[in-house]
Chain A
Amino acid sequence: MPEDYAFVHDPKRCIKCYTCEIACKQWRGIAPGTFKLRRVYEVATGTFPHVTRTFHSVACRHCPDAPCIPACVPGAISRDPADGIVRIDAANCDGCRDCLEACPFGVPAFDEDGVMRLCDLCCDRLAEGKRPLCTDVCPTGALHFRGAD
Chain B
Amino acid sequence: MGATEARPTEQVIPTFCHGCGSYKPRCGLLCHVKEGRFTRVEGNPEAFNNGMPGSTSLCAKGLTGPQFVYAADRLRYPMRRIGAKGEGRFQRITWDEALDTISDKLGETKKEYGPESYGVLSPEYWPVLATLGRRFLNVHGSPNYMHSAICATPRMAAMKITMGYVSMAPDDWAKTRLIVNWGANVENSGVNQGIPRAVLNALQGGTTLLDIRPMLDPLGSKADVWLPIRPGTDCALALAFLNVLISEGLYDKIFVSEWCHGFDELAAHVSGFTPEWAAPITGLAAERIREAARLIGTTHPTFIRMGNGIGDQANDGTSTIRAICLIAAITGNLDVPGGQCAPPPGGLTEPAISTLEELAPPDLVERLVAPESPIWYQAAGNWESGPTTAYYKGLMCILTEKPYPLRVLNASCSNPLSATRNPRKVAEALKKLDFMFVMDVSHAPHVDYADIVLPACTSYEQDDFFAIRRTARGTWLGKYNQVVEPLEESRSDWRFYLDLAVRVGYGEHFWQGSIDGMMTEMLAPFGVTLEQLRDNPGGMLVETPPAPLPEYRRYSLLFKGLPHGKVQCRNELVGGKDDNVKRGALSFFPEYQGPPEGIAETPELAEEYPLILSDVHAHRLSQHSYFHNAAYLRELQPYPWLKINPATAEKYGIANGDWVRVESPHGWSRFKAEYFAGISPEVVMTKRGWWQSCDELSLPGYDAFDGGSEVNNLYNSDESLFDKFYSQMAKQTLVKISRWEGA
Q: Is B one of A's binding partners?
A: yes
- Residues in chain A within 8 A of chain B (CB atoms): 12-19, 21-23, 25-30, 32-33, 44, 46-49, 51-55, 122-124, 127, 133, 136-141
Partner of A29, one of B39, B60, B647, B677: B39
Q: Could you tell me if A53 and B678 are in contact, using CB atoms closer than 8 angstroms?
A: yes
Q: Could you tell me if A26 and B64 are in contact, using CB atoms closer than 8 angstroms?
A: yes
How many whole Å from B669's CB to the nearest CB in chain A? 24
Q: Could you tell me if A33 and B635 are in contact, using CB atoms closer than 8 angstroms?
A: yes
Q: Could you tell me if A46 and B4 are in contact, using CB atoms closer than 8 angstroms?
A: no
Given contacts A22-B632, A49-B226, contact A17 B60 (CB under 8 A): yes
Q: Could you tell me if A137 and B678 are in contact, using CB atoms closer than 8 angstroms?
A: no
| Cα(A14)–Cα(B647), bound, Å | 28
Q: Could you tell me if B7 and A32 are in contact, using CB atoms closer than 8 angstroms?
A: no
Q: Which residues of B contact A17 (CB under 8 A)?
A: 59-60, 187, 191, 218, 620
How many whole Å from A135's CB to the nearest CB in chain B? 10
Given contacts A22-B63, A26-B41, A26-B64, contact A53 B221 (CB under 8 A): yes
| Cα(A123)–Cα(B3), bound, Å | 9
Q: Which residues of B contact A30 (CB under 8 A)?
A: 1
Partner of B196, one of A15, A26, A46: A15
How many whole Å from B541's CB to the nearest CB in chain A? 23
B61-78 to A contact mask, C-beta < 8 Å, 1/0: 011101100000000000
Partner of B3, one of A18, A28, A48, A137: A28
- Residues in chain B within 8 A of chain A (CB atoms): 1, 3-4, 7, 39-43, 50, 56-60, 62-64, 66-67, 187, 191-192, 196-197, 200, 203-204, 216, 218-219, 221-222, 226, 228, 620-621, 631-636, 645, 647, 676-681, 696-697
How many whole Å from A8's CB to the nearest CB in chain B? 15
Given contacts A26-B64, A29-B39, A29-B40, contact A140 B680 (CB under 8 A): no
How many whole Å from B678's CB to the nearest CB in chain A? 5
Given contacts A25-B632, A26-B41, A26-B64, contact A15 B191 (CB under 8 A): yes
How many whole Å from A143's CB to the nearest CB in chain B? 10
Q: Could you tell me if B200 and A137 are in contact, using CB atoms closer than 8 angstroms?
A: no
| Cα(A49)–Cα(B213), bound, Å | 12
| Cα(A44)–Cα(B53), bound, Å | 35
How many whole Å from B383's CB to the nearest CB in chain A? 32
Q: Could you tell me if B200 and A33 are in contact, using CB atoms closer than 8 angstroms?
A: no
Q: Could you tell me if B678 and A48 are in contact, using CB atoms closer than 8 angstroms?
A: yes
Beta-carbon nearest neighbor of A29 in chain B: B1
| Cα(A49)–Cα(B187), bound, Å | 21
| Cα(A51)–Cα(B222), bound, Å | 11
| Cα(A51)–Cα(B677), bound, Å | 7
What are the 5 tightest A-B residue pairs by CB atom distance, in nearest-first order? Answer: A32-B631, A15-B218, A53-B221, A139-B192, A124-B4
Q: Could you tell me if B63 and A26 are in contact, using CB atoms closer than 8 angstroms?
A: yes
Q: Which residues of A contact B200 (CB under 8 A)?
A: 12-13, 15, 140-141
| Cα(A146)–Cα(B64), bound, Å | 26
Q: Could you tell me if B677 and A33 are in contact, using CB atoms closer than 8 angstroms?
A: no
| Cα(A82)–Cα(B17), bound, Å | 38
Q: Which residues of B contact A51 (CB under 8 A)?
A: 216, 221, 677-678
| Cα(A32)–Cα(B637), bound, Å | 13
How many whole Å from B261's CB to the nearest CB in chain A? 39
Q: Could you tell me if B218 and A18 are in contact, using CB atoms closer than 8 angstroms?
A: no
Q: Could you tell me if B632 and A49 are in contact, using CB atoms closer than 8 angstroms?
A: no
Given contacts A18-B620, A32-B632, A48-B228, contact A140 B196 (CB under 8 A): yes
Q: Could you tell me if B197 and A141 are in contact, using CB atoms closer than 8 angstroms?
A: yes
Q: Which residues of B contact A127 (CB under 8 A)?
A: 4
Sample of 8 more A-B contacts, CB < 8 Å, known A19-B60, A26-B63? A18-B621, A23-B63, A44-B676, A51-B678, A124-B7, A137-B57, A139-B58, A140-B197
Q: Could you tell me if B632 and A26 are in contact, using CB atoms closer than 8 angstroms?
A: yes
Q: Which residues of B contact A28 (CB under 8 A)?
A: 1, 3
Q: Which residues of A contact B697 (CB under 8 A)?
A: 32-33
Q: Could you tell me if A138 and B57 are in contact, using CB atoms closer than 8 angstroms?
A: yes
Q: Could you tell me if A26 and B221 are in contact, using CB atoms closer than 8 angstroms?
A: no
Q: Which residues of B contact A123 (CB under 8 A)?
A: 4
Q: Could you tell me if B56 and A124 are in contact, using CB atoms closer than 8 angstroms?
A: no
Q: Which residues of A contact B222 (CB under 8 A)?
A: 12
Q: Could you tell me if A136 and B56 are in contact, using CB atoms closer than 8 angstroms?
A: yes
Partner of A136, one of B42, B59, B197, B678: B42
Beta-carbon nearest neighbor of B2 in chain A: A29
Q: Could you tell me if B191 and A139 are in contact, using CB atoms closer than 8 angstroms?
A: yes
| Cα(A28)–Cα(B67), bound, Å | 14
12 A-B contacts, Cβ less than 8 Å apart? A13-B200, A17-B59, A26-B632, A29-B1, A29-B40, A33-B696, A48-B677, A48-B681, A52-B221, A133-B42, A139-B196, A141-B200
